[in-house]
Structure 1
Amino acid sequence: MVDRFECVLATVLHEEPPVTPQIIGFTNEMARAKFSPIIEEGIRQIKGETRRAAYELITREFADLDSALREADFMDNFIIGVGDGGFKVRRVVETSDKAYIVEWETGALWRIGTAGRIWAREYIKYPVNCEDDLNELELPDPDDPGRYEGLEKRIRYVIDKGFFPICGINGFFSGVWYFLRGPLEVTLKDIYMRREFYKKLLARIGEFNIKAEKNLLERGALMIGWVEDLGYNKGMFIHPKLYEELIYPWHRRAIELAHKYGAFVNMHSHGNINAIVPLLVNAKLDVLNPIGPSDNMDLKTLKESYGDKLCLQGGLSKHIGLMSLEELKEHILDRLRVGSPGG
């Protein structure tokens, strides 16, 4: 039997794993619900019983690792989320058939659901509307042990079952406009017109993230992940020089901290961020995802240029749902041929 943990470890270390690791997930719980009868039937066939995975709202922290592991086994997933050091949902404010509104620990309100046939997230309210608000903002204590209760046990349990555990923190750039002040266009105006104010916002998120990351690492985290989404298909939301000045120092700091504990870092960013990949490589980022073709992130070019230093996760078209089975098979095989050699 293939040890998924060893496959992931070999891949991130740029060795040749016996099987290329994969992760299959769902955009939201509605998407998962459509597929869940198939998942449950597969689990029944494998284990002879049905126990659905329990999910904490949005953060996908598993309440039942046994169920999560059975699902991962059926879906052939190699990596399992075991803990999150980011901001948590404080309460569900409102629910309807198509959407729900949640309040985060920072006071930010999101509406999450569907707009027509498309899954959507709307940012309703932010806690920071001016500099005085930032001075009065109270964030949760990232050093509160209760935020990490049971993490060591979950990490050990997942490893013992042959899977690779990952823990998450907030993004840095995205963390500001997700949870403190936004939406994105407001953040971009702040960067260009109120830069010192933006630096203060970023520092509040950054210091929280670093402390949360340290707590995760002290409890045995082996991989730290965060979501940034730094661009769109034509380029980055901010000039690469501004990224280097403002965001990059925080990324370097988080990567260096993880490496100090012998852990890896996996950063997610949609968009055409080719301009900053050399910086990420220089910072010794371990894994970058999702390498989207529609974002003009070419897997072949990136693999040839940086594949010996940076592990590339993804490279799949976002249009796979419109492909025939033969087209899908050929697309996946092409991605494996291009991306797999050398980890």
Structure 2
Amino acid sequence: MTGKERIQAVFDRKIPDHVPTFEWDIYKGVMKSISDTTDACEFVLINDIDGIAIWQDRRIKRIDDRSFIDEFRVIRAYSDEYPSALAYPVNSASDLASYKMPDADDQAIYATLQHAIDILGKEKAVIGRVRDVFSLPRDLLGFENCLMDFIIEPDLVSEIMEMSIEYSLKVAKNMKSMGIGIIGCLDDIADSKGLFMGPELYKKQVLPYFKKFITGCHLLGLKVIKHSDGNLNPILDDLINSGIDGLDPIDPMGMMDIKSIKHKYGNNLVLKGNIDCVWKLVSGTKEQVEKDIIKCLNEGMPEGSFIISSSNSIHKSVNPENYAHMLHCIKKYGAYNNRED
């Protein structure tokens, strides 16, 4: 089977020949160390990875060598691996009234996605990356203000979530027209300590909009993987009942356990994860990485519906030798015809 066929089989609830793998992000320095390339498509081909995930291209206006205004009018500055936000465009309802969303139909933002489809689309799964409903209020208001406004200005946050749904469904529709069949929505709603808000507040304020977004994606004919770091256990049933097709990354640092989730939901939910990228892929030995992979495969593979990956991404601090060994071990242990279950 091709990588594309493997990942499609997973979402069709069929068992592929081999457990598939892909990452949301692979740091260029890691790619360079392993395969002497910083081109993500080339890296996927060289290492026979089953898929690639692509975000829309950014539309930025430079302020200086370090900072810029992004397409959502957030002022950001480059720092380490990801740009950090410095200033936010919405501080009041009047700010929001005059705020204009970027154009989701601007074909320039799909150039990298189209390139990946052209290079990889026949053999590899190309997965689109979109926002769902939490990251836009976070970005327009700022993280702390956003969380406070869920309490003191709930109508303001609700309006932004509606705007996010409209924008992201336009993006999803455009991706579907390009041939994309699977998208990942990557808005973190938790960390290892727990949800960013109480579970009841999430269920009341956020979940209805999230369900609306998932329904819209399904009406477009798309499968949806929901990504969030952290401990999602208090709202796990709600996320599953929203209609998501897959869940990622089953964060081991957030007390998330693939074995128990697999037991509860069976193969009705695609699970993606969860090789520890906080410690084992960063500073663990190859033996520790291999042990983690075998455990993850044993817990996730039975009856299919499983994609193995890191517990977030292959980030800057990941030891390239450990990621290379991870890919080797997946090939070595991930074939279904070698299993008895």
Q: Which of 102, 120, 132 is equivalent to 1:171?
A: 132
State whether residues 173 and 228 of structure 1, in contact with CA within 8 Å, keep that contact through their aligned partners in structure 2. yes
- How far apart are residue 286 of structure 1 and its match? 1.0
Q: Deviations over 1:307-337 (max 9, x none)?
A: 3221111122221122111111111111011
Question: What are the ranges of 5 or more consecutive residues in structure 1 without an aligned counterpart?
Answer: 41-50, 54-67
- How far apart are residue 94 of structure 1 and its match? 3.3
Q: Deviations over 1:232-252 (max 9, x none)?
A: 223211122322232222322
Equivalent residue letter for 2:102: P
Query: Could you say if the C-alpha distance between residues 261 and 106 of structure 1 is closer, same or farther in structure 2, counting changes exceeding 3 Å?
Result: closer
Equivalent residue letter for 2:105: D
TM-score, length of structure 1 as denominator length: 0.80
- How far apart are residue 151 of structure 1 and its match? 5.9
- How far apart are residue 152 of structure 1 and its match? 6.4
**Counterparts of 2:4 and 2:16 in 1: how far apart (Å)?**
10
Q: Which of 305, 319, 325 is equivalent to 2:264?
A: 305
Aligned twin of 1:105: 71
Aligned twin of 1:133: 95
**Counterparts of 1:70 and 1:152 in 2: how far apart (Å)?**
15
In the alignment, does 2:32 pair up with 1:33? no
Equivalent residue letter for 2:70: W
In the alignment, does 2:7 pair up with 1:73? no
State whether residues 39 and 74 of structure 1, in contact with CA within 8 Å, keep that contact through their aligned partners in structure 2. yes
> Which segment is superposed worse, 253-262 or 330-339?
253-262
**Counterparts of 2:11 and 2:173 in 1: how far apart (Å)?**
21
**Counterparts of 2:300 and 2:68 in 1: how far apart (Å)?**
38
Query: Could you say if the C-alpha distance between residues 141 and 270 of structure 1 is closer, same or farther in structure 2, counting changes exceeding 3 Å?
Result: same
Equivalent residue letter for 1:133: D
Query: Could you say if the C-alpha distance between residues 228 and 176 of structure 1 is closer, same or farther in structure 2, counting changes exceeding 3 Å?
Result: same
Question: What's the secondary structure of 2:201's corresponding residue?
Answer: helix
**Counterparts of 1:149 and 1:70 in 2: how far apart (Å)?**
17
Equivalent residue letter for 2:84: E
Q: What aligned pairs does 1:118-157 form with structure 2 within 5 A after superposition?
A: 119=81, 121-148=83-110, 155=117
Aligned twin of 1:236: 195
Query: Could you say if the C-alpha distance between residues 121 and 167 of structure 1 is closer, same or farther in structure 2, counting changes exceeding 3 Å?
Result: same
- How far apart are residue 293 of structure 1 and its match? 0.6
Equivalent residue letter for 1:327: Q
Aligned twin of 1:44: none
State whether residues 24 and 75 of structure 1, in contact with CA within 8 Å, keep that contact through their aligned partners in structure 2. no
State whether residues 102 and 111 of structure 1, in contact with CA within 8 Å, keep that contact through their aligned partners in structure 2. yes
Equivalent residue letter for 1:164: A
Question: What's the secondary structure of 2:68's corresponding residue?
Answer: strand
Question: What's the secondary structure of 2:188's corresponding residue?
Answer: coil
Equivalent residue letter for 2:49: N
**Counterparts of 1:324 and 1:149 in 2: how far apart (Å)?**
39
Question: What's the secondary structure of 2:247's corresponding residue?
Answer: strand
Question: What are the ranges of 5 or more consecutive residues in structure 2 without an aligned counterpart?
Answer: 306-341
Q: Deviations over 1:137-167 (max 9, x none)?
A: 112222345544696685365331x100111
Query: Could you say if the C-alpha distance between residues 158 and 123 of structure 1 is closer, same or farther in structure 2, counting changes exceeding 3 Å?
Result: same
Aligned twin of 2:314: none
| Greater length-normalized contact order (CA 8 Å, ≥ 6 residues apart) | 2
Aligned twin of 2:210: 251
Aligned twin of 2:63: 93
**Counterparts of 1:151 and 1:229 in 2: how far apart (Å)?**
22
State whether residues 4 and 78 of structure 1, in contact with CA within 8 Å, keep that contact through their aligned partners in structure 2. yes
